[in-house]
Structure 1
Amino acid sequence: MTGFKGSARYIADDKLQLAVNAAMTLERPLLVKGEPGTGKTLLAEEIARGLDMPLIQWHIKSTTRAQQGLYEYDAVSRLRDSQLGDDRVHDVNNYIRPGKLWEAFASQRRAVLLIDEIDKADIEFPNDLLVELDRMEFHVYETGETIRARHRPVVIITSNNEKELPDAFLRRCFFHYIEFPDADTLKAIIDVHFPDIESKLISDALRMFFQVREVPGLKKPPSTSELLDWLKLLVSDQLAAKALKGGDIREALPPLYGALVKNEQDVQLLERLAFMSRRA
């Protein structure tokens, strides 16, 4: 099987390609960290597309439990059906709902399993999956069967660093941190999404984008995805695009800044910076 090399839709640098292929060789989960909006979730989609594998996505919430990834037993529905005299009640399999790990283990082809934003869950969540991800099997107590992986899935786990992950979990993963792209990489990403955009607009937008990111004390620096949203607006608004030329955030907020700056503290910070610069 050929390794992952990125794609025309996803710019993956050499370090990221190496991390993906190393994790696949070791048959360990790939834990990917980085700023929100740097393409961590999209990476799993592109691995699946590039290697022609099915993609199974498990998006984690604060209320998600590890057991839900294996299966859920609907005891309430079974009790209700027993009270109604439903014949389905005699087969417990009717009340077992397979989770995303079960789906990945049962896949006829090797699949990519995305466990997205694992740091949103309870601190014990990662540890509760250690045995299943190691052994690639789990037991269904209600039916007495053991579910084993037909093919070991490629497991991609993303984290936004909202909380620390347990050491025992980290030991079982191959780790990669996606650095924020430099200007040349961002230009390549922009070319993928906006192949016909004027080079002058790209240059003006990147200059102001990095000015915003470099403001000291900014609570939420704009990400790659926010840059792309901003460019989409600039392409459709010629007046805003013209306002970029020679613009400086020390004099005024960027045009259509709502695509870049996402909280009132940062807006106020940029406004104060422009006000103080004008007074000076």
Structure 2
Amino acid sequence: MAMGLGPTARRRRLGAHLSELREKAGLTVSGVGEHMGASPQTIRNWEKGQASMKKMELAALLELYDAPHEVRQTLEDARREGSKRSWWSTYRLPEWFKPYVGLETDAALVCNFEQELIPGLLQTEDYARAIHTSGGHITDPEDVEKRVAARMERQRRLFDKDNPLELRAVISEAALQRKVGGRKVWSEQLEHLLTMADLPNVMFQVVSYEAGEHASMTSGFTVLEFSEPADPDVAYMESPLGGHVIEDNSDVTLLRNLFDELRSSAMPQRESVDLVREIAPGQPLTA
């Protein structure tokens, strides 16, 4: 998996430039859509980097915006790179999940809170497989192995020596206690969690039962941060019906603050690791 700037990030940056050029030209989204013979939503999707553009579409926009000639080739290069197939395109991921994977691929920091499950970036293959097969309505049996392989591929960035992904994970103690996949799979997952917690770029904390109520009792969520100021932070949430990326600045800020509250109420990493050892079968407790 390439660790450089991915297609999603290139589309987002291209979209930001197009939005800036449109506003500078004094045009509205509706007006541009009417000129292009496209819906306002299509224009918004281009500006948010949520959809690829054809070469002629970009050229027409840049002509409408009277964009400086020196930037037109740069933006066309970004369009072309953003239109390339992404590494996850062969993994049969659900359409609602692909935007998140694209963003996670380009993120510098992942802040993830989970209520019931070990975070995906810290799961073993067997644990991930058990989740995908826990209900026949959740994942088509023909897609299970592809989905598990994609999850393992996503984890590779945690081990990248040149550009490691930083992960801050907070989970409820319930996720540790839930024996997903049966006792053997569950036990191996807890052992794996202890191994992953040793990585310098992974911070793992547990909100224990003794902490009582906490800041997010209803659902888990993720906040992604990027190394470039041009790439604003985003958030992500899932439900039984799918997931969605959250880009509204106020909503992302709310979830980021919520995550900080959860970290404050969680045990420090060393105590969290000790709790995992206490729960995991056959794990020696530290002195």
Q: Which has the higher contact order (CA 8 A, sep 6+)?
A: 1
Give the structure-2-normalised TM-score.
0.22
Q: TM-score, normalised by structure 1?
A: 0.23
Larger radius of gyration, structure 1 or 2?
1
Higher helix share: 2
